[in-house]
Structure 1
Amino acid sequence: MTNSNSSLLFLLKKHNFQPYIQRFLQLPIVNITIGIIIILSVILTIVELSIPEKSPYLLICNTFSKIFTILFVIELSFRFIVAPNKKVYFKEYWLDILAILPLLRVFRSIRALRLLRLLRILRLSRFFNRYASTFPYILQRGIKEYLIVVGLLLLTIMFGSVAILVFEGSSNPNLTSLEEGFWFSVYSLFAGEPIPASPSSLGGKIVGVFVMFMNVTIFAMFTGTVSAFMVDKIRREDDIVDWESFNNHTIICGWNRKAEIIVREYKAAGKNEGIPIIVIAEFDDEPNFIAPDLKSRIQFLKDDFTKVTALEKAGISRAETCIILCDKTHSRSDQDADARTILAALTAEKLNPNVYTCAELLNREYGSHLDMGHVNDYIVSQEQSGFLLAQAALNRGLMGVFSELLTYERGNQFYRITITAEWVGKTFLDLFIHIKQTHNAILIAVSQPQGKFKINPDRYIFQEKDNLIVISTREIKL
């Protein structure tokens, strides 16, 4: 950079204008203006290299080219100032830095180096990718690939058209104008051989080989992109779902190993037969199942489960149960994962106060947020695992009991049943004996309407709306 630019950098750093510069560079109008200047700069470079060196218009083109390049120097300097990581900055903008080299006096005499300005065309793909969220979903998924293919195609044709004219314009009668250079690039790119005439100079031959090499590269990328597009389109057509048809269903927010266990338990318990479980999670492809037969019980919705639109699309207003799992994808910290869980749980309760919401936390300290939001239940997964390990160490062999009681796939399980009117006013012991004698089940606790539990109470008189917690091999009715 020049001395004036170095002084500018020093002044801006001294007065800490970085936040203002960063906000300025993020303005849409600034990015659009830069994109327009890039297009004008590329067009001007093509015109400048295609006209004779003695042309009176060459000085005008050179002047505007210098103005555009100075603007890019200022812009890149600003980006360098606000860049938190200089290595990342040079990795992202090294092509743009190469494109401003013709401004330096040592490179001005080499006309062919002006071709470096054409590299700016690749930067347009970055601007389009930045605003890809406004495109349809199918384009969002492959926007980078599409832009890379189009960018390489345009760059190859423009570079070949101008470069072949620079090296062959004075010696090859078949390549004396920009139009002939353009058709040379197009024919050579698609035919894979120099057409209509082979270059005679070393520089021209290198340009011809480059264009033919890009033929193979772009064709391979184009074929792969179109194939991926068609496969994705066909797969998405197969996955068209009538989300409005789901009712009294279960929604699982997030996906990890626990989600598959939950689905397996639902299947073993025979709950919601014929009603798929909707899983809201962010992933590119559907996950692999340890038990492939469970896939038919799940309908995936690829979205962020903290968004209101995603929960509404999954039918949270009609759902019976909503389970929010800890989401640590994308290298999220424990605090971020719990924050997403709390946000999703509170949103689900707000959208449907009648849905039974159960959330997974990593830190019990955040449980108070769920209590204030009237979330029905939550577990602290790491804490629960610690309790089980402690019980296994203190009471040897106890894990076998827990393993049977916590799964519906074998033996005895926990069941929740509603008390009938005939048992209201009677004691816990009376019903304990009746259930054991009649159903070979064990009454262990009472769930009260306020959400409190009485586990193995000494003396308890049943009231209306009490629920019973029993251990049994099957679901029973009083």
Structure 2
Amino acid sequence: MPSVEKGAATLKRKSRLLNLTRVINWFREAHNLLKRERFLHLLSVVFLFIIFGALAIFFSDNYYTTKGISGILDAIYWAVVTITTVGYGDIVPTSSLAKIAGLIIILSGPALLALVTASVASIYVERKIKEGKGLESIKDKDHIIICGWNENGEKVIDSIAAQMKAGQTSIVLVNELSRDEVQSIQYKYKDYNLRFVRGNFVREDVLARANIMNARSAIVMADVSGGHSIEKADQRTIFGTMTIKSMAPKVRTCAELIDGHNREHLVRTKVDEIIVRGESSGCMLAMAAIAPGVSSTIRSLISSEDENKIWRLPVPSRYVGKSFGELSAHLREKFSAIVLAVLREQKQMKLDDILSPDSTSIDEFIKRKFEESGKDFFGEKEKVSVVINPPDDYQLSKNHAIVVISKEKPEEAGFVERLVKGT
């Protein structure tokens, strides 16, 4: 029980730290914007005028003798009310010096406040214009980037939206569509956090504005935006994937090819998954002819037309070491879910795996030679093997994941999570 409480406390601490970091970053960005627009200088001038008016009425109208310390608050109150041209009339200057100070504040106050308001408004207007043009840098993390655009672009967004709740993660489009086309897409998916970065995704500066280093995953489509021809789409896909992997090698990247003969070139970029357009068309046509209805079923599931969807889930910790049949029966009974397959993730061998535990001169020599070669013989990319419809006695491990069909994503909160949420 103490370990559970410690885990809950750690989760709370990490959550508070993450929120605090976001607030600090927001204030830092706001400070930089305000500083650039000389907002703080204008605010300082307004503050000085308030102090000037307060001191003028405080000393010239003898507040220091008639009201004492409370006269300071009255003096500041009068200066603020006067500079904002509210003028309640509950406090009025009586001496000539205080009246002159009041005139100066009344004449200069509106102009100063107008400058302050215009400065703040210009910051937000500029940001909105840059955001609309796709020139704003993305600050989000764990987002999904869609590079390029074609006639299947909206289907990709629909599929992502079907797998995630609105607002759960942001989607960033990186392409060269016109402003009207982008706004039309953003309006259609207004319930989702859809962002836009204009530019050629082959370039590093464009991907840097999309914050590729902190992205969850990247999808590279056969791009025809900005007048690019479909004949050169594969070339751009290969170069774009190469750029992504050079900047963010750990970001999961999926790419679309038009011509399957270009697969070997794309594999060299260390892309995680390749989808060749039309690769499954022959199988679907044959299935439609031989087994009517099967192709329609598959199409409904992968296109999110049916209320049942395909989900990928980790194996629950309490079923690690148990049989596939036990987990399948549990999911069927509790969530009405059908388990289609078991996935096994295996990391590739690393250089450290073949070296001795104690570093020796020979080990150092081998490491140096591999580094000098400039080639990555030991990648960190995980290989995924698929076992469709495994037998009931198939043993599950912590490296397994499962693919299920259900209306809602089967989710079970762990004990620590339930404790944190107070449920």
1:474 counterpart residue number: 408
Which structure 1 segments of 5+ residues have no match?
1-232
Cα deviation digits, residues 298-320 of structure 1 (max 9, x gap): 32222111111111111100111
Cα deviation digits, residues 395-449 of structure 1 (max 9, x gap): 1112331233114454211111111232222222232222212221111111111
Match status 1:267 vs 2:181:
no
Paired amino acid for 2:175: A
Counterparts of 1:234 and 1:291, CA distance in 2: 17
Counterparts of 1:291 and 1:350, CA distance in 2: 30
2:385 counterpart residue number: 452
Counterparts of 2:234 and 2:157, CA distance in 1: 22
Cα deviation digits, residues 193-228 of structure 1 (max 9, x gap): xxxxxxxxxxxxxxxxxxxxxxxxxxxxxxxxxxxx
Paired amino acid for 1:279: L
> Which of 255, 260, 282 does residue 176 from structure 2 map onto?
282
- 1:285 shift after superposition: 3.3
Counterparts of 2:396 and 2:229, CA distance in 1: 47
- 1:249 shift after superposition: 0.8
- 1:237 shift after superposition: 5.1
Counterparts of 2:188 and 2:254, CA distance in 1: 25
- Higher relative contact order structure (alpha carbons within 8 Å, sequence separation ≥ 6): 2
Counterparts of 2:335 and 2:131, CA distance in 1: 47
Say if 1:432 and 1:350 are closer, same or farther in 2 by CA, change over 3 A. same
Match status 1:377 vs 2:310:
no
2:419 counterpart residue number: none
Contact 2:163/2:311 (8 A) holds in 1: no
- 1:262 shift after superposition: 1.7
Which structure 2 segments of 5+ residues have no match?
1-125, 347-383, 413-423
Matches within 5 A, 1:77-476: 236=129, 239=132, 242-271=136-165, 273=167, 275-287=169-181, 289=184, 292-294=187-189, 297=192, 298-328=194-224, 330=227, 332-334=229-231, 336-408=232-304, 410-450=306-346, 451-458=384-391, 460-476=394-410
Contact 1:246/1:275 (8 A) holds in 2: no
Q: What is the DSSP-based 3-state SS (H/G/I as helix, E as strand, rest coil) of the residue aligned with 2:285?
A: helix
- 1:452 shift after superposition: 1.1
Cα deviation digits, residues 161-196 of structure 1 (max 9, x gap): xxxxxxxxxxxxxxxxxxxxxxxxxxxxxxxxxxxx
Contact 1:268/1:409 (8 A) holds in 2: no
Counterparts of 2:337 and 2:402, CA distance in 1: 12
Say if 1:368 and 1:452 are closer, same or farther in 2 by CA, change over 3 A. farther
Paired amino acid for 1:426: K
Counterparts of 2:249 and 2:267, CA distance in 1: 14
- 1:322 shift after superposition: 0.5
- 1:292 shift after superposition: 4.1
Paired amino acid for 1:250: I
Paired amino acid for 1:452: S
Normalising by structure 1, what TM-score?
0.47
Contact 1:442/1:470 (8 A) holds in 2: yes
Contact 1:251/1:278 (8 A) holds in 2: yes
Counterparts of 1:436 and 1:471, CA distance in 2: 10
Larger Rg: 1
Contact 2:345/2:400 (8 A) holds in 1: yes
Counterparts of 2:127 and 2:404, CA distance in 1: 49
Q: What is the DSSP-based 3-state SS (H/G/I as helix, E as strand, rest coil) of the residue aligned with 1:463?
A: coil
Q: What is the DSSP-based 3-state SS (H/G/I as helix, E as strand, rest coil) of the residue aligned with 1:257?
A: coil
Q: What is the DSSP-based 3-state SS (H/G/I as helix, E as strand, rest coil) of the residue aligned with 1:245?
A: coil
Higher helix share: 1
Counterparts of 2:191 and 2:173, CA distance in 1: 12
Contact 1:250/1:320 (8 A) holds in 2: yes
- 1:331 shift after superposition: 5.7
Identity %: 29
Q: What is the DSSP-based 3-state SS (H/G/I as helix, E as strand, rest coil) of the residue aligned with 1:287?
A: helix
Q: What is the DSSP-based 3-state SS (H/G/I as helix, E as strand, rest coil) of the residue aligned with 2:179?
A: coil
- 1:261 shift after superposition: 1.4
Say if 1:285 and 1:442 are closer, same or farther in 2 by CA, change over 3 A. same
Say if 1:341 and 1:272 are closer, same or farther in 2 by CA, change over 3 A. farther
Counterparts of 1:454 and 1:274, CA distance in 2: 30
- 1:324 shift after superposition: 0.5
Contact 2:175/2:199 (8 A) holds in 1: yes
Say if 1:291 and 1:427 are closer, same or farther in 2 by CA, change over 3 A. same
